[in-house]
Amino acid sequence: MNYLSVEEIGNCTLYLADCEVLMPHLKKFDALVTDPPYGLGEGGKMGNPKRRSKIANADKYGEFFWDDRRADAAVALAQTLCTYQIIWGGNYYDLGPARGYLVWNKLNSGDFADCELAWSNLNQAVRKIDLLWNGMIRAEKHIERVHPTQKPLGVMQFCLDQLPITAQTVLDPFMGSGTTGVACVQSGKQFVGIERERRYFDIACQRIGQAVSQPPLFAEQVLEPKQETLI
């Protein structure tokens, strides 16, 4: 067996597995939308993972060291499965030049980055979204932050909005707390997510299950972020 557990929730299939082990056995997908480890603690070159966990409220998330190194092999494998690709932190990977970068302006201050970049192979101009997310200070206060590198739901829906209308199946091999899956549920897309840590797999199952069971009126609401095209 290539996975420890699998859950079918609505149009979503969630695997508790190592994505490198599982992905060779998966079918092709229309799109890859993911946020892999950036390797910010790799070799002590770009920060200390223990310090990062304290910044992100270590009492809540506990110690985490999965960001010690990049997931180059897994990202490369995921790319072979997907036609359209959006990879957050792609500037930390050797993915080659891209025309269609996505920029998330966090509208923050202090030690946190002003923005994050997503590499994409989309044939479009650079797109930017403005959405406050400064540590525990954020626009989506009604959505609980349960993962130290969790992306806002609005940012992941912004990603899905960039895809061609024909892109209906989405893979996220670094599912985390399942935000990409929630966005896919609300957008009517089929989703396959992979997470190797039981704690976050269970959280993703719960969040996606709630998204499937809730009518649109009561779904996790997303603020309308400001979007711009950068020439």
pLDDT single digits (tens) 88-121: 999 999 999 999 999 999 887 666 788 999 999 9
Q: How far apart are CA 130 and CA 228, in angstroms?
A: 9
Q: How many of the other CB atoms lie within 10 Å of CB of 113?
A: 9
Is residue 128 over pLDDT 90? Answer: yes
User: Are residues 12 and 87 located together in one domain of the fold?
Assistant: yes
User: Are residues 20 and 117 located together in one domain of the fold?
Assistant: yes
Count how many domains the chain has: 2
Q: Give the structural domain span for 63.
A: 38-69
User: Are residues 46 and 133 located together in one domain of the fold?
Assistant: no
Element holding 180 (H helix, E strand): helix 179-187
Candidate ranges 39-43, 123-127, 139-143; pick with highest mean pLDDT: 123-127
User: Are residues 117 and 129 located together in one domain of the fold?
Assistant: yes
Average pLDDT over residues 18-24: 97
User: Are residues 59 and 114 located together in one domain of the fold?
Assistant: no
Task: Strand 5-9: give its sheet, edge to edge.
Answer: 5-9, 12-16, 190-195, 169-172, 29-34, 82-88, 115-120, 102-105, 126-130, 226-230
Q: How far apart are CA 44 and CA 47, in angstroms?
A: 6
User: Are residues 29 and 42 located together in one domain of the fold?
Assistant: no
pLDDT at position 230: 60
| Confidence (pTM) | 0.82
pLDDT single digits (tens) 166-192: 999 999 999 999 999 999 999 999 999
Q: Which residue has the higher pLDDT, 215 or 53?
A: 215
User: Are residues 16 and 47 located together in one domain of the fold?
Assistant: no
User: Are residues 11 and 52 located together in one domain of the fold?
Assistant: no
Low-confidence winner among 45-54, 61-70, 157-166 (lowest mean pLDDT): 45-54
pLDDT at position 11: 97
User: Are residues 27 and 105 located together in one domain of the fold?
Assistant: yes
Share of the chain above pLDDT 90, in %: 64
User: Are residues 125 and 54 located together in one domain of the fold?
Assistant: no
User: Are residues 98 and 203 located together in one domain of the fold?
Assistant: yes
Residue 211 sits in a domain whose CATH number is 3.40.50.150
pLDDT at position 19: 97
pLDDT at position 202: 96
User: Are residues 59 and 116 located together in one domain of the fold?
Assistant: no
Is residue 223 over pLDDT 60? Answer: no
- Residue 194 in tokens: 């992979």
